[in-house]
Amino acid sequence: MLYFLNLSEANSGTMKHLGSLLDSTYLKTAKQASLSEVENQQIVSELAQEAIAFNFKLVMIRPEHVRKTRMFLDERDSNVLIGTVIDFPLGEASLEAKLSEAKQAIADGADELDFVVNYQAFQKGDVEGVRTQINACTSLCLKNEKVAKWIIEIAALSDAEIAKLTSLIREEVEQSFPNDVERVFVKSSTGFYQRADAGPVGATLSGVKIMKDNSGQLPIKAAGGVRNIEDVKRMLDLGVSRIGTSSAKQIILGEQSIKEY
């Protein structure tokens, strides 16, 4: 695994490799950012331009921005991918609503779809309902040659629940899509979970390790709270395959960021 610890150690090869591991992320609504819709769209466009400049794997944006961003990237003949979130951030929608949102995102030009799993239903014991959603939404993505990621929201789960939910996703994918396990990720967090205490709401080393220990061949995406190259190194050392961060540019430049999703 290649990574660098400060800018002086970087060269074009290592920067390109590191960029290929990063999903550069902006998921705030205009209201959350206290901006107009036009201003918020401009931030998304700037994110896409940065992704081109720094060779990021992907821009992770809300569904309403996918179509314009697809046009923006295509006009520049860029190979930067577009990722979007589905049933975000709570994951409580019906299967029909999840599929409808995903179909629209695919039609608009998304390459990767990050679904929020209904972790609350899982906690209440509706394992089969959750399994059905995982199967149907993953199938839709794979049939359309898209990557699916399942956000389990580790800040809302106990260690045992992280292990069980990761295992459930792994078992369903291995059983139903054995030839496509590398195209279905388990992802740690939305970055938007609201805790009652002051604990972390994104990826933690302990939580990601549990995910990795139970994911089998499914790749892991760590998201939320990764703000500098040391955070990246720690996650890579655990074996993650992708990192979602709103601090991608700062990480590439060897800087510290305090930005949130």
- Tell me the residue type at 103: K
Q: The tokens of 170 are what?
A: 């792994």
Which of 98, 146, 149, 187 is flagged as catalytic?
A: 187
Could you tell me which residues come within 8 angstroms of residue 97 by beta carbon, excluding any fewer than 6 positions away?
A: 87
Task: Please give the C-alpha separations between residue 153 and each of 2, 27, 28, 46, 213, in angstroms, as whole numbers.
Answer: 28, 16, 17, 28, 17
Count of other CB atoms within 10 angstroms of residue 114? 26
Question: Read out DSSP for 38-103?
Answer: HHHHHHHHHHHHHHHHHT-SEEEE-GGGHHHHHHHHHHTT---EEEEEESTTT--S-HHHHHHHHH
Q: In terms of Cα–Cα distance, which of 80, 87, 27 is closest to 50?
A: 80
Q: Are 158 and 54 in contact (CB under 8 A)?
A: no
The HSE-up count of residue 28 (CA atoms within 13 Å, CB side) is: 20
3-state secondary structure of 243: strand
Q: Which of 57, 114, 146, 149 is catalytic?
A: 114
Of 28, 149, 221, 249, the catalytic one is 221
Active-site residue, 114 included = yes
111 is catalytic: no
Residue 212 annotated to the active site: no
What residues are annotated to the active site?
A: 114, 187, 221
